Structure 1
């Protein structure tokens, strides 16, 4: 179902429910007329205001015109004494017009289930599912590149000629091709022509060539290839480019927390945002917000301004008192976008007020731009600038949070402390550029090897922390040892010199600790033991 069809279906559902909604408002008005009380007047005003917002959103101009007049008169009565008989008769007439305005109702539509309940965001493939082809007629060169990429966890297949590659490509297309330009069965022109077609069909092509002259690079540019590497291609740079072009950074969808006391508004705006790839958690009860934040960390908040019990400004102030969200963007929805309201929401710590009658495309644009800013703010504050992994503070927060959840759920979490062996010697011998290259390669290896549910961070210098929840201890130990072995086989090149680096690690499981700090100390103790007993090993105390 397209977005337009989904929104139209929501509109039909709203129109079908609208007569009952109007009758409820009329019933409240009749009760108020019999017993004029301020709290009842506030309830009528709130329902009329909500009706104004939803009629604006769904483009019901006739209904909105009537509701505009009702809202204005009711608003003037909020802080005034009991109304005159003439004023009540005038309101009676408007409520009667509202009730009679039924000529455009459509029959009931089936409930939209998938569109409302599911997030259409489709994450990228799992890292090991990306397939890379190396077409290189020198068997030694091709085998070396294949082995190095395998150490990073890539699914790689080596071909000695283009003909054999084509047969496999047609049956099961690769995601990325490393293409040597000197092959026995195809000319350079034919290879460039093929590369151009692959790129048009979203298969990335990296050229591997012994030539670095201007003419050859120009041919590659005209064939629209993604990258050009001069042999011998440096593995760490190659891996970084593969991550970039295949978008393997596991960039999550932007997350929005939406609160509106009208379910129809929650459904409408959630559907609109989800159709553009955002992850939306919508709710009608403001008191659900704080408990939700433990599991759902939004990049942006959207609050309805007028809600019973707790309004949008109060909710915004509450969010601003949480250290984690002091800079997170907050948008307020209202059908009343007067300058006075805009000033009020800014004073409450919100970023802007958006009218409920804002065009869908403009609404989405505003939300995405601000949500991206919120994501960037959170990311810059939580990520290590070199490796892109969680920084010291945030990996500790993640570890503590996972252990607390595991204790409540009676499950297990592993804390792994990993340290690169003799890293000072790497910096002394190959300079900080060589050291940074090693750190980046290790970060890529971790991202390639671990699950989306796992956490990885740079604890400090050459020390890293992994948080691995809900995995049996033997599998965790095997996984971390596999990372250690793969890293020890990576060949680094700095100014023509080749070298390798190993790592040591200590593991601790939440099931053998009473609290987080004890788990952290045990992992550190085991890391120290791994260093003391010879390095390039993983020590744990749970499984011998």
Structure 2
């Protein structure tokens, strides 16, 4: 919020900022200066918003923003009768990787993976880092079988790109992935995360390096 006034006394300035002003301009002001100040303010707001919504290390969304966007897309799914697949991706043996090669090597690997995620998904997909070596992806209008295929291709691409790196040759990089689908496997983010987590646990129990779609309990998951 920008205030424009001919008053320059301290009390006026105090009152203006007290009601939430972002900047204060004195009259008279040149039009070009006003425009420049407005655009500078818009740019700063966008930068601050990006910082508050982005995981600094990987460049994907942070968990808070990820959850907000998935919930927004779920609202669209309900309105238009669409599906949404929610996937949890977890680096297998990520802690061991960090212990053996150092956290710097682990951070660099996460950065490369984050970059690939941003390049690989559509604007109607939501990609974020949940915690440490765990990522989550919401894929709008995509069933879980199609989502699993896309994720399989993504992981294969990443593993292939890592083969020329010394640390990757010594310790294979694998993922466990669990996928759940709205509305079949949950009607909200909490239930989708819970059931995708169950599928992820099953993938890990089978020694990892696999993608598992959630199935109803009557089918044994």
TM-score normalised according to structure 2 size = 0.83
The match for 1:508 among 162, 180, 183 is: 180
Contact kept? 1:434, 1:494, Cα under 8 Å? no
**Residues 1:418 and 2:81 are matched in the alignment:** no
Extract unaligned runs of 5+ from structure 2.
Answer: none
Q: 1:454 to 1:357 in 2, by over 3 A?
A: farther
**3-state DSSP of counterpart to 1:388:** coil
RCO comparison, higher one (Cα < 8 Å, 6+): 2
How far apart are the structure 2 equivalents of 1:470 and 1:359?
A: 50
Please give the per-residue CA displacement for 1:402-435, whole angstroms capped at 9, x wherever unaligned: 2233223322222110001111221122111221
In structure 1, the partner of 2:163 is 491
In structure 1, the partner of 2:111 is 440
**3-state DSSP of counterpart to 2:183:** helix
How far apart are the structure 2 equivalents of 1:391 and 1:376?
A: 15
For the pair shown, the structure with the greater C-alpha radius of gyration is 1
In structure 2, the partner of 1:526 is 199
Taking the TM superposition and a 5 Å limit, the aligned residue runs for 1:37-436 are: 330-332=1-3, 337-339=5-7, 343-353=14-24, 358-436=29-107
How far apart are the structure 2 equivalents of 1:494 and 1:476?
A: 31
Q: 1:346 to 1:493 in 2, by over 3 A?
A: same
CA RMSD of aligned residues (A): 2.8
Please give the per-residue CA displacement for 1:496-519, whole angstroms capped at 9, x wherever unaligned: 965431111111111211222111
In structure 2, the partner of 1:283 is none
Instruction: Please state how far the C-alpha of 1:392 moved relative to its aligned partner.
Output: 2.2
In structure 2, the partner of 1:175 is none
In structure 2, the partner of 1:468 is 139
Extract unaligned runs of 5+ from structure 1.
Answer: 1-329
**3-state DSSP of counterpart to 1:466:** strand
Instruction: Please state how far the C-alpha of 1:483 moved relative to its aligned partner.
Output: 1.0
Please give the per-residue CA displacement for 1:270-299, whole angstroms capped at 9, x wherever unaligned: xxxxxxxxxxxxxxxxxxxxxxxxxxxxxx
Q: 1:476 to 1:359 in 2, by over 3 A?
A: farther
**3-state DSSP of counterpart to 2:95:** helix
How far apart are the structure 1 equivalents of 2:146 and 2:28?
A: 54
How far apart are the structure 1 equivalents of 2:205 and 2:144?
A: 23
How far apart are the structure 2 equivalents of 1:503 and 1:450?
A: 18
